[in-house]
Chain A
Amino acid sequence: MKKLKRFFTDKKFIYGSGSAVTLAGFIAIAILVNVIVGVLSDKFTLKADLTESKIYELTEQTIEIVKNINEKTDLVLIEVSGNEDMLKHELLMRYVNLNSNLSLKIYDPVKDPSKVQRYQTLGSSISPGTIVVDNGENFKVISSSELYSYNPMSGANDQFNAENKITTAITSLSKRADIKVAFTEGHGEKSSTAMQQLLKEDNIEFETVSTLSEGFSESFDAFVIISPKADFTADEIEAVDSYLKKGKSIQVYLDFNAPPLPRLESYLSDLGISIGGNIIFEGDTKRIAYNTPLCFVPIVKSHPITTAIVNNNLNLLVYQAMEVSPIWEEKNYVKVETLLTSSDKSMANDRQGQSARGPFSVAVIATRYNNDNKNEGKIFVAGTSEILNDEFTMMNKDFILGSVNWQIDETEPMNIRPKSLSPARLDMRQQDIKLWSLVFAIFLPIIVLAAGLITWLRRRHL
């Protein structure tokens, strides 16, 4: 008992316990202050964006859209622990802070493969850096390459386009529920499981419709015609025309091997699209794939459909392509634009064995509008259905989905400009670089070290 009493009255115990309590109290206060400031900082964004291009600041357009979200939506960031991208974290946090219905989830593909697997889609692997907008029913995957624009000249990502992509995904997700596409049948059409899968993964519903008996129903936003072997009837062509006049869309994939389709081709010609009836052989060896000039990487022209492809220098693959070319650029309220072409070294042979020199258009898009500039149909025509081949899905996914989305998605394109990431350059001559390199890496440290040596020697002899 005495020992116990002595222990508790010992100077060391009294001072020690007092010191421990003070220290614990101090650390607790420090943690508390940090937690409070952290919460306030998240809630009121007590952060200043000091970047030149204001990378983290959300536009008014985004703020308005995000504040109006009524359903629970997850912004999922896929990234490996220890390799976090602060840029994406910070931007996503700013979205989440705008609306309590939004939450940020971070999944590590190494530690939570099952969670990440859920977002795996055909033709796109979920790589670290991917952002997914998920409202519980549907989701939209934005790959890392879509978020940045790569500049091959500088060898770095020079633009950050995440806000545009995320806000577009949020808007499109809420509007997508009723979008439907039909695949025609009854003319010997091919079916494309790859395209169907891509549509499914992009939350677009689809059905197969016999247009001979059911016509072109307005309940569908677009019809897709893949490599028909038999021509369309006059009634069908008339139905197509009235369908398009209601502002709807059609995609036509034609093949060189299929028999000629005079009615369909004549109708397309009225819309400014000529079907060449010849097969293209690529002559530029750099563009040839699989060792055959029939399979090649086409030149991608700038268009809203191809923005992601052009910005990121992605490649497509076409095989056994037939020329489909614009007859005019803009005439009779129809604007025709080329999307893909072969190189100027390419050749094309028609069915009679006549050859011609390229470049040749491989895919075109015609937009018809009326006096009031109102859309009266968008027609996409590709000179090969092989573009939808399962083998090429990985490469052609952005183009296929890009064309469908541009045609049917009423979502207005976001007027959110990408933020520049490229640092300002120094306008220095080589001799300036050499001079300043000597000053900073050699002279400056040597002067300081020499001063230290002199001080040391002088004091040594005091």
Chain B
Amino acid sequence: MTAVFNRELKAYFTSPTGYIFLGVYLLFSGIFFVAINLQNTITEMAYYFSNLTVILVFIVPLLTMRLFTEERRNKTDQLLLTAPITVTKIVLGKYFSAICLFGITLIITLVYPLMMLLYGNLMIFPIIAHYLGFYLLGCSLIAVGVFVSCTTESQITAAIITFVILLFIQLSGMVASLFNNAIVKKVIDWLSVMNRYSEFTTGILSVSSIIFFISFAAVFIFLTIQTIEKRRWS
């Protein structure tokens, strides 16, 4: 798994993909930070992170679109699948590399709170909650992207499908409000990744939300493993 992880992480930085992801993220993140925090001279990062969730819908497909599609297009998936390594390890290696890059991106943005420390008192714990929540949200959405990338051979198709699914997830709160049935509404609300994330933005570190994000990502990773396994016997 470490070999796959290292190879994938290195691939992000030997191709423009990783840099584009980093650059686009930092561009929008910088604009939001300047517009929300610097222009209003506030240390509260809730509004900044709330706005950034929209950007995830656009940049997660960038990060995940090539993970499996490229292997299939170049036919290197056959090499990989016949290598002495389990499918689980391959999928986990690729997934971890993607969330590692996302983590590196978030670490770079820590310069924002560090800068704010120079100019005022910072509420450290809420900021930790924001970063943790946002990272977990990103990891869950990346898992969706990883799953989509193993279902198609085209990077563009993978990116578009991922974008559509993530957009739907983003709007799930609105979708829930369209239903009159309380049970349906409650189920959609319960499944809503964005609802869970909003807990973090209001300064609550909830065990149930952390477990939800981990299991949400686990289900999609498991789906990816099953989809690739299916190719072996079908």
Which A positions have Cβ atoms within 8 angstroms of B?
Answer: 11-12, 15-16, 19, 22-23, 26-27, 30, 33-34, 37-38, 40-41, 46-52, 55-56, 80-82, 86-87, 90, 111, 423-428, 432-433, 436-437, 440-442, 444-446, 448-449, 451-453, 455-456, 459
Contacts and interface: CB of A to CB of B under 8 A. Distances in A.
A172 to B, nearest CB: 28
B22 A33 contact: no
Contacts of A56: 203-204
Contact of B18 (A37, A426, A452): A452
A23 B223 contact: yes
17 contacts: A19-B230, A22-B226, A23-B226, A26-B218, A27-B219, A47-B207, A50-B128, A51-B125, A82-B176, A87-B202, A433-B38, A437-B38, A441-B30, A444-B108, A448-B22, A452-B22, A459-B15
B198 A86 contact: yes
A82 B39 CA distance: 29
Given A425-B42, A426-B41, A441-B30, A50 B19 contact: no
A12 B222 contact: no
A26 B222 contact: yes
Nearest to B18: A452
Contacts of B174: 82
A456 B16 contact: yes
A58 B187 CA distance: 29
Given A81-B185, A425-B120, A48 B180 contact: no
B222 A23 contact: yes
A440 B34 contact: yes
- What 4 pairs across the A-B complex have the smallest Cβ distances? A452-B19, A423-B44, A82-B177, A81-B177
Given A440-B115, A441-B34, 17 more contacts: A15-B233, A33-B211, A33-B215, A41-B208, A46-B207, A50-B125, A50-B129, A50-B203, A425-B43, A426-B37, A426-B119, A427-B119, A440-B38, A445-B23, A445-B24, A451-B19, A456-B19
Contacts of B165: none
A441 B211 contact: no
Contacts of A459: 14-15
A90 B123 contact: no
A82 B173 contact: yes
A245 B122 CA distance: 54
Given A22-B226, A86-B198, A442-B30, A50 B204 contact: yes
A306 B22 CA distance: 54
Given A30-B219, A440-B33, A449-B20, A426 B43 contact: yes
A444 B110 CA distance: 13
B2 interface: no
Interface in B168-213: 173-174, 176-177, 180, 185, 198-199, 201-208, 211-212
B205 to A, nearest CB: 4
B38 A428 contact: yes
B54 interface: no
B227 to A, nearest CB: 9
B41 A428 contact: yes
A111 B180 contact: yes
B129 to A, nearest CB: 5
A456 B211 contact: no
B74 interface: no
Nearest to A454: B19
B135 interface: no
Contacts of B208: 34, 37-38, 40-41, 46
A81 B181 CA distance: 12
A423 B22 contact: no
B31 interface: yes
Interface in B5-27: 13-16, 18-20, 22-24, 26-27
A432 B26 CA distance: 20
Contacts of A427: 41, 119-120
Contact of A424 (B108, B121, B203): B121
A424 B43 contact: yes
A88 to B, nearest CB: 10
B59 to A, nearest CB: 12
Contacts of B16: 452-453, 455-456
Given A50-B125, A437-B38, A455 B14 contact: yes
B23 A455 contact: no
A120 B141 CA distance: 43
A34 B177 contact: no
Contacts of A12: 233-234
A49 B203 contact: yes
A452 to B, nearest CB: 2
B212 A34 contact: yes
Nearest to B202: A86
Q: Which of B126, B203, B206 has the most CB of A within 10 A?
A: B203
A37 B207 contact: yes
A415 to B, nearest CB: 24
A19 B226 contact: yes
Nearest to A428: B119
Contacts of A41: 206-208
A51 B203 contact: yes
Contact of B205 (A34, A48, A86, A444): A48
Contacts of B129: 50
Contacts of B39: 433
A15 B233 CA distance: 7
A459 B23 CA distance: 19
Contacts of A80: 177
A22 B203 CA distance: 37
A334 to B, nearest CB: 47
A18 to B, nearest CB: 9
A46 B211 CA distance: 12
